[in-house]
Chain A
């Protein structure tokens, strides 16, 4: 009896495996049926922001949507791997360099949105593979408590060049350019600000100020917030998060700072081409931009968006003349030089 039961259990298990395997062959049809008509969004924005934006779009257009949240880099990897049969329709958020990388491998659908005419040419791809809708400027996070503890009454640095002061040796955290778009943006900013040759001199000196290179671009702000280091370089919105949570941080936008352009794009050959276009038109419009700015406090590119408390408008920022195309095309070369000059 006892043995029979064991065998029973076993055959049940084997049957489960077989049934699972059998389900496999029935899978694709059901998927196709489920996806019919639903716009699939790969979102790099925060989950709750994406959910709110999509809900507003559904109310506006009557088009049903669903989304998966991935990091911007994972979206690129996923879209590349799915190129034989794309399942995503729209990529929402993430820096333009990532969209550009997909555009260069022919995986994005160019679309000249009617809303694009409201935008400065700097903020979208001339071939219309992607359109930017927000700007994230590089900022300096200063932990005011730790700064006072270590530096006394010394004023907080306000420019990039002040960071080269030998007194600031090992006081700052920043990500590693090869692994983080934020840190690559920092390097590119110095190149646009100083020209290539002087930029590398700057970066080599700056290396002594850096105590620690992280992998993730948002981590330095968190570490400065916790007081692990007095200074960090990160995008402004990544610094505002810990400030909102109550950490003793001050956000400084240095003169001639760099920025990322957060973009939206359409996956080539996605299952819902028309709804995807309608989404891009809507996303670039005023209503969606206002909602996104209110939710995220990121800086909108549209001039007709009201600036919520805690955010800054595009006019308030002193931006370097940042060439997004150059930055995307020269990434490999710049990273190689960085590795040579600064090391692993």
Chain B
């Protein structure tokens, strides 16, 4: 099994990456290092990433914390809101921000009479925070839920108040989760180019620069150099996290569990939390409402009459919607299985090159989608594994692209599970697979669910990487949406986006029904 996982990672992650990174010549490097402008772009990228990562991780932590407490009001609602931004096609959040809060936005201009400029760092920061906090929620919720209430009660018995317990017990024990969340959010923010292209204005970032090098200047060598530059901060953070986390123990699941309820949250904390989350949720709902409103109105900003004509196109593209859904379901399931298996076998089984494997499992998140797409096209077009033009390559790409979140959720979960548990299973004669199936998998259930949700929802919306891999028979809805948006057919684009979101919600509800609540999709 270990070999299968290692093989998968080497073939589908390492090989394409190496294929691309061997391209740049020293001339490209000289041009990058010698360009004052690109250094400025790199500095911009660093600042934007730092701000967005911190804010998205904090917001994600607030959501996850609220969901782990039984006494926060409106939990069922927040549970849905915590992952809602995932259920949106690529350009939607940025676009809604412009439609609602831009210079001629519905809220800022029409209602408040302001002439606000969202383009630039503040707008981008807001969009990235909203777009990526769900990743932090997914990485953190399992960790917070598995913290043993006994430890908090012990703190309470020693005379600590809520803040004291939070500071000395809850927060320190959540460090592996926070580190995972920060790593993932930072990585995705670094590599994202869709949102910056729409709202960053004159504020340049590296991922956009790399994208332009590929599709504007046709210089993949320079693009590869910029991608390597994107990998540097990720690599540093990764290394830092390993060194720091491995010195400590975060085990809270030891097989000797108690069944206490968590320590109650004091009213001021409870209501502050409620207020903050409500504000974010309101903003999210407004965003989503604007997409559906955009799909239903004739021309946004000019002619507000209600029409269904944009949906005619959605019906025409029903085939694309079906393709997207089918592939995403397959990818979601395979990714969840692969993610927890990989987490277990890489973290808990003897393995040569463990840290290399660990890094490979998150690498697909650290690169801009365009680069991975091209790398796959080059690697799998000819040679031993020639699979371009098939649906398989699209599904595989979806699996690999979503792997980092599932894998890291699995790793954070494992860091809380004492090794004594799997050692006992082995002492009783269980093999690796059986130990995994009977002991670990049930304990890693939230990680499995998180991986599945993330992979399904991300895959159905994926764009940048698959655009180079789709072939005539395997068109996807997200690709069509971008095509429409690019040519300025906003009505049709939002209608198709709305259709895609409805399908996503329907599918999530259906899974919940089918699994009879055993795999509770929103039980994060």
Chain A residues with Cβ under 8 A from B385's Cβ? Answer: 24-25
Q: Does A222 contact B (CB under 8 A)?
A: yes
Q: Does A56 contact B (CB under 8 A)?
A: no
Chain A residues with Cβ under 8 A from B220's Cβ? Answer: 77, 80-81
Interface centre among B41, B218, B338, B385 (most CB of A within 10 A): B218
Q: Does B354 contact A (CB under 8 A)?
A: no
Q: Does B268 contact A (CB under 8 A)?
A: no
Chain B residues with Cβ under 8 A from A81's Cβ? Answer: 220, 374, 377-378, 381, 468
Chain A residues with Cβ under 8 A from B516's Cβ? Answer: none
Q: Are A241 and B488 in contact (CB under 8 A)?
A: yes
Q: How far is the CA of A109 from the CA of B131 in the complex (A)?
A: 44
Number of chain B residues whose Cβ lies closer than 8 Å to a Cβ of chain A: 74
Stretch in contact with the other chain, from B67-75, B225-233, B469-477, B498-506: B469-477
Among A14, A24, A35, point to the contact of B387 (Cβ < 8 A): A24
A 45-87 to B, binary, CB cutoff 8 A, 1 in contact else 0: 0110000000000000000001111110110111011101101
Q: Does B217 contact A (CB under 8 A)?
A: yes
Q: Does A7 contact B (CB under 8 A)?
A: yes
Q: Does B137 contact A (CB under 8 A)?
A: no
Q: Are A71 and B382 in contact (CB under 8 A)?
A: no
Q: Does B37 contact A (CB under 8 A)?
A: yes
Q: Are B215 and A73 in contact (CB under 8 A)?
A: yes
Q: Are B483 and A47 in contact (CB under 8 A)?
A: yes
Chain A residues with Cβ under 8 A from B103's Cβ? Answer: 227-229
Smallest Cβ distance from A326 to chain B, in angstroms? 18
Among B204, B396, B489, point to the contact of A20 (Cβ < 8 A): B396
Q: How far is the CA of A332 from the CA of B377 in the complex (A)?
A: 26
Q: Does A337 contact B (CB under 8 A)?
A: no
Q: Does B167 contact A (CB under 8 A)?
A: no
- Across the two chains, which residue of chain B brings its CB closest to A38? B472
- Across the two chains, which residue of chain B brings its CB closest to A45? B487
Smallest Cβ distance from B32 to chain A, in angstroms? 14
Smallest Cβ distance from B106 to chain A, in angstroms? 11
Q: Are B467 and A76 in contact (CB under 8 A)?
A: no
Q: Does A152 contact B (CB under 8 A)?
A: no
Q: Are A17 and B484 in contact (CB under 8 A)?
A: no
Q: A24-B385, A31-B389, A221-B488 are in contact. Are A178 and B480 (CB under 8 A)?
A: no
Chain B residues with Cβ under 8 A from A20's Cβ? Answer: 330, 334, 392, 395-396
Q: Are B104 and A7 in contact (CB under 8 A)?
A: no
Please classify how large the interface on chain A is, using the bins under 10, 10 to 19, 20 to 34, 35 or more: 35 or more
Q: A13-B334, A30-B390, A246-B303 are in contact. Are A228 and B208 (CB under 8 A)?
A: no
Chain A residues with Cβ under 8 A from B389's Cβ? Answer: 27-28, 31, 35, 87
Q: Are A227 and B301 in contact (CB under 8 A)?
A: yes
Q: How far is the CA of A266 from the CA of B455 in the complex (A)?
A: 38
Q: Does B406 contact A (CB under 8 A)?
A: no
- Across the two chains, which residue of chain B brings its CB closest to A43? B483
Chain B residues with Cβ under 8 A from A10's Cβ? Answer: 337, 433, 436-437, 441
Smallest Cβ distance from B452 to chain A, in angstroms? 11
Q: Are B396 and A87 in contact (CB under 8 A)?
A: no
Chain A residues with Cβ under 8 A from B382's Cβ? Answer: 84-85
Q: Does A317 contact B (CB under 8 A)?
A: no
Smallest Cβ distance from A119 to chain B, in angstroms? 26
Q: Are B201 and A14 in contact (CB under 8 A)?
A: no
Q: How far is the CA of A183 from the CA of B471 in the complex (A)?
A: 30
Q: Are A344 and B473 in contact (CB under 8 A)?
A: no
Q: Does B102 contact A (CB under 8 A)?
A: yes
B 140-184 to A, binary, CB cutoff 8 A, 1 in contact else 0: 000000000000000000000000000000000000000000000
- Across the two chains, which residue of chain A brings its CB closest to B377? A81
Q: Are A69 and B483 in contact (CB under 8 A)?
A: yes
Q: Does A216 contact B (CB under 8 A)?
A: yes
Q: Does A309 contact B (CB under 8 A)?
A: no
Chain B residues with Cβ under 8 A from A212's Cβ? Answer: 119, 201-202
Q: A216-B486, A226-B301 are in contact. Are A14 and B337 (CB under 8 A)?
A: yes
Smallest Cβ distance from A270 to chain B, in angstroms? 13
19 sample A-B contacts, Cβ–Cβ < 8 Å, listed by A number: A13-B337, A14-B337, A31-B389, A46-B483, A46-B489, A70-B467, A73-B214, A81-B377, A81-B381, A82-B388, A178-B217, A179-B212, A213-B202, A215-B208, A245-B299, A246-B299, A247-B299, A247-B302, A344-B40
Residues of B in contact with A (beta carbons under 8 Å apart): 4, 8, 37, 40-41, 102-104, 119, 197, 201-202, 204, 208, 212, 214-218, 220, 298-303, 330, 333-334, 336-338, 341, 370, 374, 377-378, 381-382, 385-390, 392-393, 395-396, 433-434, 436-438, 441-442, 467-468, 470-473, 475, 479-480, 483-484, 486-491
